[in-house]
C-alpha cells in the first residue's frame, strides 16, 4: 500500500488504469468529482467499503449505505456530532485520562502516546457505543480501566484487519466473514439496551431520539467502530510526532503565547499530512466520463487521498487552507466522514494536553507493524530539557 501511495505522488495524469488495481487517481479535484457523483459511483459494489460490510452485516446494509436509504439516514444523523456536542463528548469521556497525562508530563515523566491514543479511542467507543462490562467483572474499578479500554480498541482493530487483505478485492472468505461477524456481535451487544434506555446526550440515546431504528443504530455503531478507531488513534500519535519532528511545536507555542487560537489550523494540517484513511474506493455503477477517460460499469476506482493531500507540501501549521483538497482526508460528498467533528475534537484535546505546558522531545519511537492505518506502537515523549 505504501508503494501504491508513493507511486500515486508520481502519477503524471489525473486518472490512470493500473493492471490489478483498476482506475487510480491521486488528483484531489478528480477524487472529489468521483465522490460527489453518487449516480455513476457506488460504495456498495466490489471496491467500496459497503461491499465489505454487506457480507458481514447482511443485505440490509445495501439499503442503508447508499441510495435513498443512506440519504435518509444521513439526513436524520446530520446533527449526531456537531463541534459543540463533540467537545462535550470528548470532555466527558477523556477528562480524567487527559488530566493524568498532563500531570505525568508536568512532573517530568515520560508518556507513551502510542498506547495512550489507543486507550483514549477505546474509551470513546465504550462511551458512544454504550459497551457494557462483561458479566462477572468486579464492580470496584470504574468501567473501563485503561487495560479494558485498550482491549476494546484491539477488538475494533481486529475487525478492521479483516479488511487488510482486501487491497485488490473486497470479497471476503467464509472464514473472514465468520470472524468479523463474531467481533461485531461482541462489540454491539450493548447497543439494544443503550438504544432502548440511554439518555439523549449519549450517542445511542440520540440515535433513538433522531428516529433511527435499532437496526440502523446497530449499523451506525459498527461503522463508527471501524471508521473511527484506528484512524483517530493514528492521527493523534502521528500529529504529535510531526509537531516535534518539524519544530512546528515552537511556532505553535509562540502563537499561544501571543494569545492566538491556532488549534483549528494545527488540527487541519495534522489531518492533511497524516490522512489516516489513505485510500477511498468506489465501484463504477454506470458508464461515465471523468478527466477525459471513459470508466465502464463494473470497474473500480481507487482514490489515493494520502497522495493527493500530502502533495501541497510538508507539515506547516501556518499553511493556508488548500482549496483543491478542502477536507479530502474526510472524503467528500454523501459519505463524507460522519465523525469529522468528533475526530477534530479528539485531536485538539490530546494536542492541547500535550503541548500547552511547553515543548516536547521524543525519547523513543517504534512503528506499529502490519496495520492498515500506519501508526506508532510506541511514541514516548517528555518535556524538552
Residues in contact with ligand HEM by the rule CB under 6 A: 43, 49, 74, 223-224, 227-228, 231-232, 235, 271, 276-277, 280, 329-331, 335, 337-339, 342-343
Sign of CA dihedral 304, 307, 309, 311: negative
Hey, what's the cell of 123?
474509551
Minimal distance, residue 36 CB to ligand HEM, in Å:
11
In the bound state with ligand HEM, the residue whose beta carbon lies nearer, of 279 and 288, is: 279
φ, ψ at 131 (rounded to 5°): -65, 130
Closest to ligand HEM by CB, 152 or 271: 271
Contact 127, 342 (CB under 8 A): no
Strand 279-284 and strand 41-42: the pairing is: antiparallel
Taking the mean position of all CA atoms in its chain, how far away is CA 227?
5
| Closest residue to ligand HEM in the complex (CB) | 339
CB of 224 to ligand HEM, least distance (A): 4
Q: How far is the CB of 229 from ligand HEM (least distance, A)?
A: 8
Cβ nearer to ligand HEM, comparing 151 with 340: 340
Please identify, using beta-carbon distances, which residue of 73 and 360 lies nearer to ligand HEM: 73
d(CA 184, CA 208): 20
Q: Which is nearer to ligand HEM, 65 or 355 (CB)?
A: 65
CB of 215 to ligand HEM, least distance (A): 15
Grid cell of 124 as nine digits: 470513546
Name the β-bridge partners of 113. Answer: none
Q: Least distance to ligand HEM from the beta carbon of 65, Å? A: 6
Residue nearer to ligand HEM on the CB measure, 42 or 176: 42
Q: What is the Cα–Cα distance from 358 to 3, expressed in whole angstroms?
A: 37
> Taking Cα atoms as reference points, which of 90, 156, 91, 97 lies closest to residue 122?
156
Please state the closest distance from residue 270 (CB atom) to ligand HEM, in A: 9
Q: Smallest gap, in angstroms, from Cβ of residue 303 to ligand HEM?
A: 9
∠ CA 201-78-285, nearest 5°, is 140
Exposed, middle or buried, 359 (CB in 10 Å: 0-12/13-18/19+)?
Answer: middle
The residue (of 90 and 111) whose beta carbon lies closer to ligand HEM is: 90
CA dihedral 226, 87, 253, 382 (to 10 degrees): -50
Half-sphere exposure of residue 232: CA atoms within 13 angstroms, side-chain side: 34
Amino acid at each position: 500500500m505504501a508503494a501504491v501511495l508513493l507511486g500515486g505522488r508520481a502519477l503524471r495524469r489525473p486518472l490512470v488504469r493500473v493492471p490489478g488495481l483498476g482506475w487510480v487517481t491521486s488528483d484531489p479535484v478528480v477524487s472529489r468529482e468521483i465522490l460527489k457523483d453518487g449516480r455513476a459511483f457506488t460504495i456498495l459494489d466490489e471496491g467500496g467499503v459497503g461491499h465489505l460490510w454487506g457480507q458481514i452485516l447482511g443485505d440490509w446494509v445495501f439499503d442503508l449505505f447508499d441510495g435513498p436509504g443512506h440519504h435518509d439516514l444521513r439526513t436524520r444523523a446530520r446533527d449526531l456530532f456537531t463541534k459543540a456536542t463533540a467537545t462535550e463528548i470528548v470532555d466527558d469521556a477523556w477528562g480524567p485520562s487527559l488530566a493524568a497525562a498532563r500531570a505525568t508530563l508536568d512532573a517530568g515523566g515520560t508518556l507513551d502516546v502510542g498506547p495512550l491514543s489507543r486507550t483514549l479511542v477505546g474509551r470513546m467507543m465504550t462511551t458512544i457505543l454504550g459497551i457494557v462490562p462483561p458479566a462477572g467483572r468486579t464492580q470496584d474499578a470504574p468501567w473501563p480501566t485503561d487495560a479494558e479500554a485498550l482491549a476494546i480498541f484491539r477488538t475494533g482493530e481486529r475487525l478492521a484487519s479483516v479488511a487488510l487483505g482486501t487491497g485488490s478485492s473486497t470479497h471476503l472468505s467464509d472464514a473472514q466473514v465468520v470472524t468479523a461477524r463474531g467481533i461485531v456481535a461482541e462489540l454491539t451487544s450493548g447497543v439494544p439496551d443503550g438504544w432502548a434506555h440511554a439518555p439523549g446526550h449519549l450517542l445511542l440515546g440520540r440515535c433513538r431520539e433522531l428516529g433511527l431504528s435499532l437496526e440502523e443504530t446497530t449499523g451506525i455503531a459498527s461503522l463508527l467502530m471501524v471508521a473511527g478507531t484506528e484512524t483517530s488513534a493514528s492521527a493523534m500519535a502521528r500529529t504529535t510526532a510531526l509537531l516535534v519532528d518539524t519544530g512546528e511545536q515552537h511556532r505553535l507555542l509562540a502563537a499561544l503565547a501571543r494569545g492566538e487560537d491556532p488549534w483549528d489550523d494545527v488540527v487541519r494540517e495534522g489531518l492533511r499530512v497524516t490522512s489516516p484513511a489513505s485510500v477511498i474506493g468506489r465501484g463504477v455503477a454506470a458508464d461515465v466520463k471523468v478527466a477525459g477517460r471513459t470508466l465502464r460499469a463494473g470497474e473500480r476506482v481507487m482514490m489515493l487521498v494520502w497522495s493527493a493531500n500530502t502533495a501541497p507540501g510538508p507539515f506547516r501549521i501556518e499553511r493556508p487552507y488548500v482549496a483543491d483538497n478542502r477536507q479530502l482526508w474526510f472524503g467528500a460528498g454523501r459519505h463524507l466522514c460522519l465523525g469529522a467533528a468528533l475526530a477534530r475534537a479528539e485531536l485538539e484535546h490530546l494536542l492541547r494536553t500535550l503541548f500547552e505546558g511547553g515543548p516536547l522531545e521524543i525519547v523513543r519511537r517504534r512503528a506499529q507493524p502490519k496495520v492498515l492505518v500506519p501508526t506508532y506502537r510506541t511514541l514516548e515523549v517528555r518535556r524538552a530539557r
